[in-house]
Amino acid sequence: MCGILAIIGKGKDEALVKQLSKRMSHRGPDESDLHVTEKGHILSHERLSIIDLHTGKQPIQGTTDAWMVHNGEIYNHQQLRDTVLKGHTFRTTSDSEVIVHLYEEFGYDFCHMLDGMFTFVVIDGDDYIAGRDPLGVKPLYYGVDDRGRMYFSSEMKSIADQCKTFSTFPPGHYYTAKTGFVKYYKPEWEDAAKGVEEVDYEAIRTTLTQAVEKRLMSDVPIGVLLSGGLDSSLTSSIAARLLKDTGKPLHSFSIGLDAMAPDAVAARSVAEFLGTQHHEVHFTIEQGIEILDKLIWHLETYDVTSIRASTPMYFLSKAITEKGIKVVLSGEGADEIFGGYLYFRNAPSAAEFHQETIDRVQKLFTADLLRADKSTMAHGLEARVPFLDKKFLELAIKIKPEEKQPKTYDGVEKYILRKAFDTPEQPYLPDSVLWRQKEQFSDGVGYNWIDTLIEYCASQVTDEELEAAAQRFPYNTPATKEAYYYRSVFHKHFPQVSAAQTVRKWIPKWQANTDPSGRANAAHVQADTAIAQQKIVV
């Protein structure tokens, strides 16, 4: 939705702050504004108009002297207005404004009341609070400069050269000067020993449908990212059903190297089945390599998986915004919740499988969510993620791990999600898609993309440079030429040690080949035969 920047402390030059905020103007191309409080603190906002196009300008003042900036969407804002905030007078119809009123009503203790994706800062005199949504769907960084001023920003690039130290703001927390970081999101599912339950297929279907429905809230057109895989196809199907009676068109978007890329073929089939207005985007490997430098600047990471997958998503997002679409639904989270990645097949036990799903969900903000936000917001496009709805998470993660493990169903990953939407009388998807094996997004756009990318990076890094990698990059030392190349580009833009420390690398567990591509898993050799041709009934 936006880019926010807040500086707590006096004496910062207003013109400089505007320049710092403009470094992330891509996040909010519609409007920009800045407010200096009576105490000298500064709030800046780069706006992408989604809700309340006319009066929702930020920063927003509450009913007192409190001011706020917010990035994201609060899906239950109307409910909050009608209940706990019914005595408040609002200046706008924006979903964002409820945050400052909740602060005025409840002090620091209100983040758990918000249903949505968000980062925010509220300043009230010399008091302030900053917060981030439960899983970190929206990015936030914080730092301190050499004069003790506190910074909060949607992207690292706005504060990296201003702060002596900075870091990633932890999801599910709020921060105040009086309390430090406070964890407000404490779901039962975070404890692997608690609350495992039997699968309820109808509840899965109902709760995910509700999650999609609330994410259709918008005053602008909405689209869906449709890779042709299970997750994006399901969210697209649900959205199509919900919008069918409204008369509003649903635009779907897919990308591949060419028309025969695995994802493009599958997406075409789904779009025809659902009756969406489908748009297919192609990019060349040369174009992908050409934008790597700019992409890494946008992503603010050197993680191999994130960069591989973000390249096609970057091109796709550009094409979507050119069509006038500002909001899309995306399928992030399902693989982590249900153990959908192929390496999950190798889990030594149900308990370890379950713990890995929890760990992956908790760390999504370092990888897939970072990619989903920054590769879309690079073009002023907002991605919403129904699978990470709080209510759906509470239901789905607590399902007995034995019910999720692929070996329980002859190797079919995410079986219970597929089965929940296997309704032959009113099918959500064609069987060929509902039972299609997992393709990681970076693979599904066309297998030549990853292979050529690896070759290119190898041509840019010498054997001697890789051998001396630990001397140049002692923290998170890259182990391959591809990783070394990405790290070098990242270091050019963000040379600070604090910047390097914000990145978390991920490699799959329980398999000899540690390349993050899904094709590195032995199970992938059956991709075209094992699942798409069988439908298991238990």
Tell me, what CATH number does 241's domain have?
3.40.50.620
Asked which of 163, 186, 209 is the last residue of a domain, the reply is 186
CATH code, 82 = 3.60.20.10
Give 433-481 pLDDT, tens digit per residue: 898 776 555 455 767 889 999 999 999 999 999 999 999 999 999 999 9
Residue 536 has what pLDDT? Answer: 39
Q: Which residues are marked as active site?
A: 2
Q: Are residues 112 and 23 in the same domain?
A: yes
Q: Which two tokens stand for residue 195?
A: 């609350």
Residue 336 covered by a domain: yes
Give 119-171 pLDDT, tens digit per residue: 999 999 999 999 999 999 999 999 999 999 999 999 999 999 999 999 999 99
Q: Are residues 51 and 149 in the same domain?
A: yes
Residue 534 has what pLDDT? Answer: 38
Residue 524 has what pLDDT? Answer: 55
Residue with structure tokens 């199907």? Answer: 237
Q: Which two tokens stand for residue 8?
A: 């707590």
Q: Are residues 434 and 297 in the same domain?
A: yes
Q: Are residues 212 and 161 in the same domain?
A: no
SS3 category, 50: coil
Give 367-382 pLDDT, tens digit per residue: 999 999 999 999 999 9
Three-state helix/strand/coil letters over 422-470: CCCCCCCCCHHHHCCCCCCHHHHCCHHHHHHHHHHHHHHCCHHHHHCHH
Q: Are residues 196 and 181 in the same domain?
A: no
Residue 528 covered by a domain: no
At 247, is the pLDDT very low, low, confident or very high (cuts 50, 70, 90)?
Answer: confident
Inform me whether the pLDDT recorded for 531 exceeds 80.
no
Q: H/E element holding 106?
A: helix 98-106
Q: Are residues 134 and 42 in the same domain?
A: yes
Q: Are residues 154 and 196 in the same domain?
A: no
Q: Are residues 223 and 353 in the same domain?
A: yes
Domain that holds residue 218: 191-285+293-446
Torsion of the alpha carbons at 352, 356, 359 and 365, rounded to the nearest 10: 180
Q: Are residues 170 and 247 in the same domain?
A: no
Q: Are residues 238 and 164 in the same domain?
A: no
CA angle 246, 249, 252 (to 5 degrees): 135
CA distance 324 to 381: 10
Q: Are residues 10 and 24 in the same domain?
A: yes
Asked which of 424, 446, 468 is the last residue of a domain, the reply is 446
Inform me whether the pLDDT recorded for 217 exceeds 80.
yes
Q: Are residues 215 and 360 in the same domain?
A: yes
Q: Given its phi and psi angles, is residue 282 left (phi above 0), alpha (psi -120 to 50 degrees) or beta?
A: beta
Q: Given its phi and psi angles, is residue 496 left (phi above 0), alpha (psi -120 to 50 degrees) or beta?
A: beta
Residue 528 has what pLDDT? Answer: 42
Inform me whether the pLDDT recorded for 16 exceeds 60.
yes
Asked which of 429, 446, 463 is the last residue of a domain, the reply is 446
